[in-house]
Amino acid sequence: MQDSSNPIFPARQDMKEHIKHFLEKYAPRLRHAVTSYNNRNLFAKRYGAFQAEVRKKLFPTNDPVVLSGPFAGMRYINEIVWGPITPKWLGTYESELHPVMDKILAEAKYETVVDVGAAEGYYAVGLARHFSKSTVFTFDFDLRGRMQQRRLAVINKVNNLVVGFRCDAMELQKRLNAGSGLLICDIEGFEAQLLDPSAVPSLSHTDIVVEVHPAEGRSISEVRDLLIQRFRKTHDIEVIESRRREVTDGRHLVPLEIPDAQVLELVDEGRPGLQYWLWMRHLRPGPSR
């Protein structure tokens, strides 16, 4: 354990911060590639052994496939991802959003789908499979995530996925300005900055699913209220709260030999506490909605 009272320790911390800022400015891809490498090592230690164990029980003779939910039947990778992969194998991942996704898949037609913070591509490839005539643009800083998106697209025979690195207001406006669009957004607090119709006018006629996080000195509820205020005149807005996972969420999806305690771990998404999502559907013209 390092001693923070040692004068060398803060000097080292300052040096690390200087290096991070330098790389972010002059070599952002390298900076995020290093972060990706470090994070994947942490996730491998946390989830790797469990993932390998349950994979043999869930898919003893086949490659993983999503077992339930809106993307049931989608073939999946067996790799270390950002967080636990098992809820995605089961299809219970973000089950609070399943009714929203079911409506999107059943009712909507989009020319463009944009997924910012796409990780390994669960939503991006799932939506690309369904909206096969649309273009799905993804953005993620994580190098491994972008590589996994491409692999996930290949094994699902998806050819309408365009994988990108950074999405700022100009890039988002460019991608959403083509026509009817859907935005999926999970960017760890940057949504408070990016989702601003004054900077990205196309957001006013885009359907949006956004995971809300604390950011820039604002609590999670303050960011939620900020986004509602920005979009309340142009969108129908539904606030969705996370709920605690139960054994019953996954018991029916797995072999009986798997004990309840392990089922609970299978469906656990590793969330630290209360989570919000906003489903913001832009107001269509006409007498009724």
Q: Under CATH, which architecture does the 93-282 domain have?
A: 3-Layer(aba) Sandwich (3.40)
pLDDT at 216: 82
Task: State how beta strands 235-241 and 276-282 pair.
Answer: antiparallel
The answer to whether residue 261 scores a pLDDT higher than 70 is yes
Element (H, E) at 209: strand 206-212
**Which pLDDT score, from 0 to 100, does residue 150 have?**
98
pLDDT at 107: 85
Encoded tokens for 160: 């309408």
CA distances to 55, 57, 79, 259, 261 from 255, rounded to whole Å, are: 12, 7, 22, 9, 13
Structure tokens at 51: 């993932």
pLDDT tens, residue by residue, 187-228 = 999 999 999 999 999 999 999 999 999 998 999 999 999 999
What does the domain layout of the chain look like in residue ranges?
Answer: 93-282
Helices (H), the chain: 8-26, 28-58, 86-90, 98-107, 122-130, 143-155, 169-176, 191-194, 220-231, 260-267
What's the confidence (pLDDT) of residue 284? Answer: 81
Query: Residue 92: how many CB atoms within 10 A of its CB?
Result: 22
Is pLDDT at 17 greater than 80 in this prediction?
no
Query: What was the pLDDT predicted at 49?
Result: 96
**The pLDDT value given to residue 22:** 45
Confidence of residue 109 (pLDDT cuts 50, 70, 90): confident
Whether the pLDDT of residue 79 is over 50: the answer is yes
pLDDT value of residue 38: 76
Question: For residue 139, which amino acid is it?
Answer: F
> Which uninterrupted H or E stretch holds 212?
strand 206-212
189 touches 211 (CB < 8 A): no
Return the pLDDT at 34.
Answer: 63
Reported confidence tier of residue 43, pLDDT bands at 50, 70, 90: confident
Closest-CA residue to 138 (of 73, 80, 185): 185
User: Model-level pTM?
Assistant: 0.87
3-state secondary structure 258-288: CCHHHHHHHHCCCCCCCCEEEEEEECCCCCC
Q: Give me the residue label for tokens 């920005």.
A: 230
pLDDT at 19 over 80: no
181-185/161-164 β-pairing: unpaired
Residue 189 in tokens: 């607090």
